[in-house]
Amino acid sequence: MSGNGFLKVENPGKYVFYVISSDGCKLWVNKELVINEWYDQPSRLHMSREIKLLKGFHQLKLLYYNRLRFGEITLGWVRPDGSSETIPGNHFYFTVSNKVFFTGLPEKYKIVVKPAGTDRVYQCLFTQGICMIGDLEEAMPVPINVDIYNSENTLIYSTTTPLEIWGGDEYLVKLE
């Protein structure tokens, strides 16, 4: 099993992640491997080191395999206040959704998305290299026009033809 997506952190601070799994698991936070227990084993608890997280979205990837008939996987965290819990579902943003993520641009850059043939405008500001456009109401895929603004709010790129996007996707933006 593989899960890729984003984790929304509302309270900044030091977090410890844990996975309870039978057999193998790996967890990455912001592309850094923080739990690496990829071997056959009975159900047990695996914990990461403390990770400082700012408020906002963080990339998350979880791999899991189960060798035998019954399996178990739980992803949780120890919050900065010391409380621990299975991470609530409203903190996850995975592939099937009406949200689109853009990564790869510097702080304070802005993306403006305009679904083709509509008057709607969605925008987001890059924080920690991630920007999310949420609540796209159109059927998927959505043809969009994209404008990118730098930190001085100067337009630096604009699509000349609409792009087709899918909710839940992540788009890596590279400026040359």
User: Would you call the peptide bond into 141 cis, given omega within 30 degrees of 0 as the criterion?
Assistant: yes
Residue 80: the pLDDT is: 97
Q: What is the pLDDT of residue 94?
A: 66
Q: What burial class does residue 69 get, using C-beta atoms within 10 Å of its C-beta: 0-12 exposed, 13-18 middle, 19+ buried?
A: exposed
Q: Is the pLDDT of residue 140 over 70?
A: no
Helix ranges (DSSP H) in the chain: none
The residues spanned by each domain of the chain are 2-94, 100-172
| Structure confidence by residue, pLDDT tens digits, 44-53 | 999 999 999 9
What average pLDDT does this structure show over 127-143?
77
Between 169 and 87, the more confident residue is 87
For residue 60, what is the enclosing H or E element?
strand 56-64
Residue type present at position 42: P
Q: Does residue 95 register a pLDDT over 90?
A: no
Q: Quote the pLDDT of residue 164.
A: 83
Question: Which helix (H) or strand (E) segment is 131 a member of?
Answer: strand 130-133
**Fold match between domain 2-94 and domain 100-172:** no
Q: What is residue 66's predicted lDDT score, i.e. its pLDDT?
A: 87
pLDDT given at position 126: 86
Q: Kindly report the backbone phi and psi dihedral angles of residue 21, in degrees, each rounded to the nearest multiple of 5, phi listed first.
A: -150, 150
Mean pLDDT for all residues in the chain: 88
Q: What is the pLDDT of residues 20-78, one digit of tens each?
A: 998 889 999 998 999 999 988 888 999 999 999 999 889 899 999 888 777 888 999 99
Domain 2-94, second-level architecture: Alpha-Beta Complex (3.90)
Quick one: pLDDT at residue 5? Answer: 81
CATH architecture of 100-172: Sandwich (2.60)
